[in-house]
Amino acid sequence: MERVLLHTCCAPCSLSCIDPLRSEGIEPVAFWYNPNIHPWKEYQARRDCLLAYAPTIGMEVRVQEDYGLKDFVRHVAGDIDHRCAYCYEHRLEGTAKYAAEHGFTAFTSTLLASTYQNHEAIAAAAEMYARQYGVEFLYRDFRSNFRAGNQRARELGFYMQKYCGCVFSEADRYQKQIDRDRAKFDAEEAARQG
């Protein structure tokens, strides 16, 4: 059975990828490399959920521990609205490099399962780094499995994140609540002064 390095952003997304790969005779080896995930408790919850789940299905996990808050913010601070390009490229470069250095002939990513991510940008970044590091990018469109994978993750009691990963995506996720809270407190302040 061919082994492929599967960049894994979280256990729930992995459920959209593992069975389809195994049905093709491909054994995924999960690779945890996500210096984009913040704050620490979120990073830890996602990593530990993957580490707890993988042994139950006989999947190997490789961990490249890198809680990269400062480095990530340094790279995206000048253009926060376009941070995802850096995020995809940084993680996929790390995956391609790890694959090449550790004897894998190919890699792929659970990022290709999300219906919320820029699928084309992910694939383009992966292709670029596959060429650079001399490994194959195993392209698969896992998005058709996304909803079923998330449902299975809920059934298994997985930690289910509420946002993509970085603190900026967390703010985006909760922006409506932030705006409602601001309006509420502004109205209360106006009433006090009125």
Read off the tokens for 119.
């699928």
Does the structure show a pLDDT above 90 at 73?
A: yes
Q: So what's the pLDDT on residue 38?
A: 95
Position 72 confidence tier, pLDDT thresholds 50, 70, 90: very high
Indicate the annotated binding residues for [4Fe-4S] cluster: 9-10, 84, 87
3-class secondary structure, 164: coil
Per-residue pLDDT tens over the stretch 89-148: 999 999 999 999 999 999 999 999 999 999 999 999 999 999 999 999 999 999 999 999
What one-character DSSP code corresponds to residue 39? S
Query: Are 27 and 105 a contacting pair, CB within 8 Å?
Result: no
First to last CA, the chain: 73
* Number of C-beta neighbours around residue 189 at 10 A: 10
> Does the bond joining 39 to the residue before it have cis omega, within 30 degrees of 0?
yes
Bridge partners of 81?
A: none
Q: So what's the pLDDT on residue 74?
A: 96
Distances (CA, A) of 91 to 9, 108, 144, 158: 10, 11, 23, 23
Domains present along the chain, CATH in parentheses = 2-193 (3.40.50.620)
Q: How many residues belong to the chain?
A: 194
Is the pTM above the cut of 0.85? yes
- pLDDT averaged over the chain? 94
